[in-house]
Amino acid sequence: MSKINLRELKHSYLENPSRDEDWALKGMDIEWSDGGAYALLGPSGCGKTTLLNIISGLLVPSHGRVLFGDEDVTDTPPERRNIAQVFQFPVVYDTMTVYDNLAFPLRNRGVPDKEIDPRVREIAQMLDLEEMLLSKAAGLTADAKQKISLGRGLIRSDVNAILFDEPLTVIDPHLKWILRSKLKEIHRQVGSTMIYVTHDQTEAMTFADQVVVMHEGMVVQVGTPIELFEKPQHTFVGHFIGSPGMNVLPCEFDSGVPRFAGHSIETASTSRPAAGYSRLEFGVRPEFVSFCPDGIPVEIVKVNDVGRYRIVDTRAGDARIQILVPEGESVSLGRAQVQFDPAHTQIYADGWIVAEASS
């Protein structure tokens, strides 16, 4: 067991990457602490799977090093890396029984049968596979097959980290929840590092202690679900996490004060952005926008009732501001005034947050 360190990692699938778009991973330094439950969150095509395959050794990065503890494993093949990986589509060896499937990674490593047997039974019990141990793996349901894939990872006691590549894609919705809780439970039991790739924020938030958000080959933020919600480091995180996403509105600095639509706004960012940016915005989540008699004038154009709260769509000039209004509060179309909660309003220059003076 050891922490996993990615240093100056870059990867391109092309032989001679020249432009920025040629890179699938555009450079990152991350440390995954031992025993952590991480989610790797991002839209399809942002490089999540590439990153995962580099950690497991299926891909050798074009640049940078992969360290397990102090050992450099960048060029070590996957079978010698003590990594388990569960794929999007369940992989089982069809002609083998469930038992043989679970025993396979150990047999390949020459572990004697008398050590394999108790281990297989232990893992089968952990995953509720005991009753099907002797049946052929081919005829099982998708969720059972996915459990077997996971079991083949768990069976090795030397595993450093278990990587999940959108493992619940083919699982029925009502079983997803069960399997996800199972994963959390297993994480508590075995304590190995788990990295869970998904594009579903609910999955990420419920599984992980730390969420790594990726966007266009970059890691834009690493943080707890609450940090991602309250202080997105990048407007992308604001958009991608939360439903509806953060309002990102244009602003400008006028004698040291950020102004939006002619009104000065108070923000949590106390420092000014360094010069040289091309785009200045501020972000505030719909949860932190409220109606107030002497605020910024807006036009309410639509009210969506989504159950426990309503999403109010408003316009201030060309800008669109969404507001979450709790059930019971009356909202009517037409003119209104809004204010932003200063503690949850941040300034972004070219998409990146402008850091507070204190930090």
Partner 1 sequence: MTVKLTNQKAWFLVAPVVVLVAFNAVIPLMTVVNYSVQESFGNNIFFWEGVKWFEEVLHSERFAASLMRQIFFTSVILLIEIPFGVAIALSMPRKGPWVSVCLVLMALPLLIPWNVVGAMWNIFSLPDIGLLGKALNSLGIGYDYTQEPISAWFTVILMDVWHWTSLVVLLAFAGLSSIPEAYYHAAKIDGASPWAIVRYIELPKMKRVLIIAFLLRFMDSFMIYTEPFVLTGGGPGNATTFLSIDLVKVALGQFDLGPAGAISLIYFLIILLTCWLFYTLTMKDEAQ
Q: Which of 160, 142, 151 shows the shortest CA–CA distance to 100?
A: 151
Instruction: Show the tokens assigned to 354.
Output: 């402008």
Which is nearer to partner 1, 56 or 346 (by Cβ)?
A: 56
Which is nearer to partner 1, 85 or 267 (by Cβ)?
A: 85
Which is nearer to partner 1, 83 or 123 (by Cβ)?
A: 83
In the complex, minimum distance from the CB of residue 133 to partner 1, in angstroms, rounded to a whole number:
18
In the complex, minimum distance from the CB of residue 169 to partner 1, in angstroms, rounded to a whole number:
12
Are 281 and 235 in contact by the 8 Å Cβ rule? The answer is: yes
Beta strands 280-284 and 345-349: pairing type? antiparallel
What radius of gyration do the chain's Cα atoms show?
24
Q: What is the DSSP string of 72-105?
A: E-TT--GGGTTEEEE-SS----TTSBHHHHHHHH
In the complex, minimum distance from the CB of residue 281 to partner 1, in angstroms, rounded to a whole number:
40
In the complex, minimum distance from the CB of residue 174 to partner 1, in angstroms, rounded to a whole number:
22
Positive or negative: CA dihedral 135, 141, 144, 146: positive
Positive or negative: CA dihedral 135, 141, 145, 148: negative
Which is nearer to partner 1, 104 or 277 (by Cβ)?
A: 104
| C-alpha span between 305 and 156 (Å, rounded) | 50
Which helix (H) or strand (E) segment holds residue 153: the answer is helix 142-154
DSSP state of 147: H
In the complex, minimum distance from the CB of residue 177 to partner 1, in angstroms, rounded to a whole number:
24
In the complex, minimum distance from the CB of residue 197 to partner 1, in angstroms, rounded to a whole number:
13
In the complex, minimum distance from the CB of residue 93 to partner 1, in angstroms, rounded to a whole number:
5
Which is nearer to partner 1, 12 or 56 (by Cβ)?
A: 56
Measure the CA angle with vertex 86, ends 83 and 88; round to 5°. Answer: 145
Spell out a b/e string for 118-150, using b for 16 or more CB atoms within 10 Å of the CB, else e: ebbeebbebbebeebeeebbeebeebbbbbbbb
What does the binding site for partner 1 look like in residue numbers (CB under 8 A)?
Answer: 53, 56, 58, 77-79, 83-85, 87-89, 91, 93-96, 104-105, 108-109, 136, 138-139, 149, 152-153
Which is nearer to partner 1, 75 or 266 (by Cβ)?
A: 75
In the complex, minimum distance from the CB of residue 252 to partner 1, in angstroms, rounded to a whole number:
50
Instruction: Show the tokens assigned to 293.
Output: 């008699």
Which is nearer to partner 1, 77 or 250 (by Cβ)?
A: 77
Which is nearer to partner 1, 68 or 340 (by Cβ)?
A: 68
